[in-house]
Amino acid sequence: KQEVTQIPAALSVPEGENLVLNCSFTDSAIYNLQWFRQDPGKGLTSLLLIQSSQREQTSGRLNASLDKSSGRSTLYIAASQPGDSATYLCAARYPGGGNKLTFGTGTQLKVEL
């Protein structure tokens, strides 16, 4: 069964800290992995998409890595700001699934002043 988990479920850090969010998947035969941000009651904003053949993707203060052999992806946020406070979701896409995304349970991040 293809499962995606995110630990911890919640994280609180002081402003300015660098942090890492974790995403684990049980089936390493993924097509790609997408990281999203969701503010309360809002839709999902795509942050980064990393293809199975890639090891890293970067956008501004965000860096996503992918290690298929260990079944892990991480999202690194540099110099965190209060505006980064949101729930972060990772989602894996597998071949033959009709583009179906298997979502993790999310990490709720709070960046405090």
Partner 1 sequence: DTEVTQTPKHLVMGMTNKKSLKCEQHMGHRAMYWYKQKAKKPPELMFVYSYEKLSINESVPSRFSPECPNSSLLNLHLHALQPEDSALYLCASSQRIGLALDEQYFGPGTRLTVT
CB of 51 to partner 1, least distance (A): 6
- Dist CA 33 CA 39 (whole Å): 20
Residues that bind partner 1 (CB under 8 A): 31-32, 34, 36, 41-46, 49, 51, 89, 91, 93, 98-101, 103-106
Given the complex with partner 1, which of 14 and 53 has the nearer CB atom? 53
* Placement of tokens 């089936």 in the chain: 27
60-79 in b/e form (b: 16+ CB < 10 A) is eebbbbbebeebebbbebee
Given the complex with partner 1, which of 54 and 81 has the nearer CB atom? 54
Given the complex with partner 1, which of 37 and 111 has the nearer CB atom? 37
In eight-state DSSP terms, residue 82 is G
CB of 27 to partner 1, least distance (A): 17
